[in-house]
Amino acid sequence: MNKSLVLITALIIITSSIVGCLADDSSSNVIQEENIVDEPNTEPPINEISGCMDSEAINYGENVTIEITEYCIYPDPVLSVSNVIDDGSTIAIFGDVDHFHPDEITISLSHDEDVIISTKPNIDGDWSLIMQSSAEHINLNITATHDLKETTSNVTFIEINRTTPEDGDGDTSQPQNYSILSAYHGLDELPAVASLLCGFNVAGDDGMPIVFSTQLQVDSVVPESFLVMRSDGESVVPNCATLHPADEPLEQRTVLLTGDFGTFGETPLRVEVTGSLLTFDGESLLGVSTEDITPLEDGPRVVIAERFAPDTNGLAGECPDGTAQVVQLTWEGGVTGPGNAALGEDQRLGTWVLLENGATVNPLALVDDDPDNHVIACLAEDSPAQWVVVHAGLFHDPGDIANPATHAEVIDGSPYYTHA
């Protein structure tokens, strides 16, 4: 046999054997690699993770590890209107907005589908809007928008109708120009300290402050001048009638009556002047009455707001330096902060005054130096005060019941308030 042929044949045999051995080993390795590659991946793609890392979002989740802003869902601002004041030409609207960042909200007022005015709330969410219109029928829409998160409140609709109803016969039985502005069934059990106001024991009596539209002659205020009619048919002459504690020169219009005027089941229905009660000018108030009695469960409202110069007799030294005008607020009954606390920043910032120039301001200070129903608002601005608006839940009566939202038009104090 040819040696070259034998050598080639031998090489082929050896090579085949080596390849076979290598094939056997490598086949095992391939199977192992295929097992690793085919093992399923349990981690979801990043773009499928939902949720939001922003704690202000509705769908905030502590376990969300990647912030994907398109998944954040934010709450809408909640808009509330607390007061609407209309004097026939100027409309003032007051309210608040509930939101994480109320000072980032825009309050917009639209009329006939056109936005005519907008404003920003303060850090507490309180806001006001003022517009001028002499129209008889006005339809307004108000919304609150958070532009940063593109959220909007529900629309609040306000309808103003200035048409005057036909005059009826009216009640002509009462003296002209004078009236009872409020009768406030404030307490059903007076504390023992109230006896100091009457000079004898009235602890346990009901207390009912009566606010008149005029100041009164002190000596004419006696129990026999009043009669309280109850829901059970009984008529009650008060045990005590006094101008205390509201007896300072600019006050003297609130009579505190004590007696058995009823409870939650037997309520007072009517208060009438039946004796010789006299105004400061000496005019008789005989026959003046009211059936509009604030019940025990309701909080106090502002009855009248009067504008004075800071140096008016009875006000000198009450307000801080920089006071340009004073507005005395007469409430239905005595007021303090919650739990008989002194008036503070919450009450000051919750009291808004609308000025003649259209601005809305908070008082420079609130002064209440005794436990009666009068609070002095000291204003730094020269523009005359026109309206006072007080937010709800800030001023508490002696029973610790908080006020509802309340407002009053500011009037000039009468000339005879300057008496000593």
Report the C-alpha gap between 409 and 83 in whole angstroms: 13
Sort strands 126-132 and 114-119 into parallel, antiparallel or unpaired: unpaired
Instruction: Identify the pLDDT of residue 48.
Output: 43
Terminal-residue alpha carbon distance, the chain = 153
User: Would you call 142 helix, strand, or coil by DSSP?
Assistant: strand
The tens-digit pLDDT sequence of the chain (420 residues) is 444 433 333 333 434 444 444 444 444 443 344 444 455 555 444 444 456 767 777 777 765 555 555 567 788 999 999 888 888 888 889 899 999 889 899 999 998 767 688 999 888 888 888 888 888 999 999 999 998 888 999 999 999 998 865 544 444 444 457 999 999 998 889 999 999 999 999 999 999 999 999 999 999 999 999 999 999 999 999 999 999 999 999 999 999 999 999 876 788 999 999 999 999 999 999 999 999 999 988 999 999 999 999 999 889 889 999 999 999 999 999 999 999 999 999 999 999 999 988 888 999 999 987 889 999 999 999 999 999 999 889 999 999 999 998 999 999 986 544 433
Residue 414's pLDDT is 67
What pLDDT was estimated at residue 218?
A: 95
- Which helix H or strand E contains 181, and what residues bound it? strand 180-184
The pLDDT, as a whole number, for residue 299 is 94
- Determine the pLDDT at residue 50: 55
∠246-251-256 over CA atoms, to 5°? 35
**C-alpha 289: how far from its chain's center?**
32
The CA dihedral of 130, 326, 308, 183, to the nearest 10 degrees, is 80
Q: What is the edge-to-edge ordering of all strands in the sheet holding 351-355?
A: 360-361, 351-355, 385-390, 406-412, 302-308, 325-331, 374-379, 365-367
The encoded tokens of residue 33 equal: 């690699």
| The pLDDT value given to residue 24 | 45
142 in Cβ contact with 108 (< 8 Å): yes
Q: What CA–CA distance (Å, rounded) separates 372 from 350?
A: 20
How many CA within 13 A on the CB side of residue 299? 20
What is the SS3 string spanning 286-328? Answer: CCCEECCEECCCCCCCEEEEEEECCCCCCCCCCCCCCCCEEEE
Using an 8 Å Cβ cutoff, are 362 and 351 in contact? yes
Judge contact between 308 and 325, C-beta under 8 A. Answer: yes
Dihedral sign (CA 267, 263, 221, 372): negative
Q: How far apart are CA 376 and CA 331, in angstroms?
A: 11
* DSSP output for 41-104: P-SPPGGG---B--TTSTTB-TT--S--GGG---PPPEEEEEEEEE-SSEEEEEEEEESSSGGG
Q: Which of 328, 284, 288, 296 is nearest to 310 (CA)?
A: 328
Spatial distance between the Cα atoms of 45 and 49, rounded to a whole number of angstroms: 7
241 three-class SS: strand
Domains and their CATH numbers in the chain: 45-74 (no CATH), 78-161 (2.60.40.10), 180-294 (2.60.40.1220), 302-418 (2.60.40)
The 90-98 sheet, strands edge to edge: 78-86, 90-98, 126-132
